[in-house]
Amino acid sequence: MEKKLYLGFLTVIFSLLGFSQELIPNVKNQTTTSLNGEWNYIIDPYETGYYSFHYDAYDQQRSFQKAAFFNNYHAQNKQELVEFDFDKSPSMIIPGDWNSQDPMLFYYEGTVWFKKSFDYEIKENKRLFVYFGAVNYKAEVYLNGVKLGIHEGGFTAFNFEISSIIKAKDNFLVVKVDNVRHKEAVPTLNTDWFNYGGITRDVILIEEPKSFVQDYMIQIKKGEKNTISGFVKINNFDKNAEFVCIKIPKLSIKYKGKIDANGSVNFEIINKNIKYWSPESPKLYDVYVEYENQILKDNIGFRTIETQNAKILLNGKSIFLKGISIHEENDKGGRANSEADAIRLLTWAKELDCNYVRLAHYPHNENMIRLADKIGLMVWEEIPVYWTIDFLSPETYKNAENQLAGMINRDKNRCSTIIWSVANETPVSDQRNAFVNNLISKAKTLDSTRLISAALLTKSENLNNYVDDPIAENLDIVSFNEYLGWYGGDLEDAEKIQWTSKYNKPVIVSEFGGDAKQGFHGDKTERWTEEFQEHLYIQNLKMIGKIPNICGISPWILVDFRSPRRLLPGIQDGYNRKGLISNDGNKKKAFSILRAFYQKIND
């Protein structure tokens, strides 16, 4: 019996381990069961559950069932040493990071094992997938002792099929989570945000038919105004099913497309009655994708976004991006993951009179993007190719490309997203140029309908500032970070500084700002005071007004956020204090300066 069971598991291991399964889109509107809630966890800094005392990986040995952390489920009757018990171990809430839930783990970087037990009766002729919104950083996933696979990257979603493994009773899902930073990882060792570890976004079971809609894209065709185009892709295409139907009732659209031999439909639908999405009027349509007995609903807005010389055009009209940068943290000092967290952050952005937000420095929770769709905020999304990535490593590039694809695949139907960003403050070199240019090409291949940018660095010579970066030639927008008065330069020179650009392209100042401790007051020349930050904003906005081709800004940052780099006692205390709002929700004086600047643009 044991041998037979082992051989069956081994077949599944070899068929699934490392197999990249395509992401299932629009999870919010699928048939789902949540696995959120309490999960048991075991802290394992020596990775005892993964390696033998000779440091052999258990799941690569002939006897996978002897892996230490599965013994009490499969070997109760054997005379083996069992030095763990998930069910007697503590629990924490998933989704959530371990740093803010267990004081012992506040700065912990290493391995933590998580386990969730559940029952599930799979319906006849159905398939089942387990979906993770994000796990930081590396996840190795097992169901009932079978290794489903590995995912690397702390901010992108992934899923595995579990149809052949699920049982009606007593399933146990185990996830080995490792948030150790590595030089070759994306991001690399050195960042300016907190390394929250854990299963930080939703865990969901998705039930699908045997043959189902795997993916789709439904957007306005690039260069067109009245043409909705895209594709629908079928998983396990049933050749007896000939058609996919796309319905948009409010536009009287009922399109029937013939499925090709590869299980795909490419389509174009002309409609002259489309009401475009915009921040002033965030119109969303109920869209239905129908295939056999499956009806998949989504809420999609239609808009055009393009550049024309040095202008950004939304729906054919020139716009100025009134923005703010945002990190993904909640009001308790942990990783944001709920709809309430998204509402809190984006409501403040709207209060600033923003029409745009930069979601830094990684893909944020899908709640943020969907809420931006609803309330009318344009979005810049980016991947954590940040500072000094290992640009020489092919594995690092593949990791970055996978994260780029994961971000685009999840959010390609969200009209609020207008910019994909591929890098932040990366130092110029031949290796870096090739690395980032390849990402730019990949982004354009995956999605031709949006703009591509990156946050670049500037150069300065005798009060003349400029961007000289080879990758700017391949970007739609030239964006850069500039910290006058904080990381160099004199605030009183703001109106003397001259900007030049050799690129006839729109310009965004993707970051500027300076630190202030909320409630700390003094003269405007005294660093760390609210008055200094207020003056810094006044002077920087004067300077920015003189930049040629300026089309938007996203100052750094909306809310103070945790960063182990920020060590000044009594001021920083482990927080980057550049927020316009303190981590406990109190606005600083500079908040009003930026809001007044944006309101004046409206006038």
pLDDT at position 81: 57
Residue 435: band (very low, low, confident or very high) from pLDDT cuts 50, 70, 90: very high
Q: Which of 289, 132, 296 is nearest to 205 (CA)?
A: 132
Residue 542: band (very low, low, confident or very high) from pLDDT cuts 50, 70, 90: very high
The pLDDT tens digits for 174-209 are 999 999 999 999 999 999 999 999 999 999 999 999
Cβ-in-10-Å burial (0-12, 13-18, 19+) of 315 comes to middle
Tell me how far CA of residue 382 lies from CA of 323, 477, 483, 559, in angstroms. 15, 14, 20, 18
pLDDT at position 51: 85
Arithmetic mean of pLDDT, 505-514: 98
Q: Which residues contact 308 (CB under 8 A, 6 or more apart)?
A: none
pLDDT at position 179: 98
Arithmetic mean of pLDDT, 542-559: 97
Helix 430-446 × helix 394-411 angle, to 10°: 30
Q: How far apart are CA 141 and CA 173, in angstroms?
A: 7
Residues 194 and 99 sit within 8 Å (Cβ to Cβ): yes
Question: At residue 254, what is the residue type?
Answer: K
pLDDT at 398 over 90: yes
pTM of the model: 0.94
Residue 53: band (very low, low, confident or very high) from pLDDT cuts 50, 70, 90: confident
The pLDDT tens digits for 324-371 are 999 999 999 999 999 999 999 999 999 999 999 999 999 999 999 999
Residues 510 and 554 sit within 8 Å (Cβ to Cβ): yes
Strands 243-248 and 507-511: unpaired
Residue 240: band (very low, low, confident or very high) from pLDDT cuts 50, 70, 90: confident
Arithmetic mean of pLDDT, 464-474: 96
pLDDT at position 80: 56
The pLDDT tens digits for 94-127 are 999 999 999 999 999 999 999 999 999 999 999 9
Strands 356-359 and 478-481: unpaired
Bridge partners of residue 306, in order along the sequence: 313
Residues 469 and 503 sit within 8 Å (Cβ to Cβ): no
Can you give the length of the chain in residues? 603
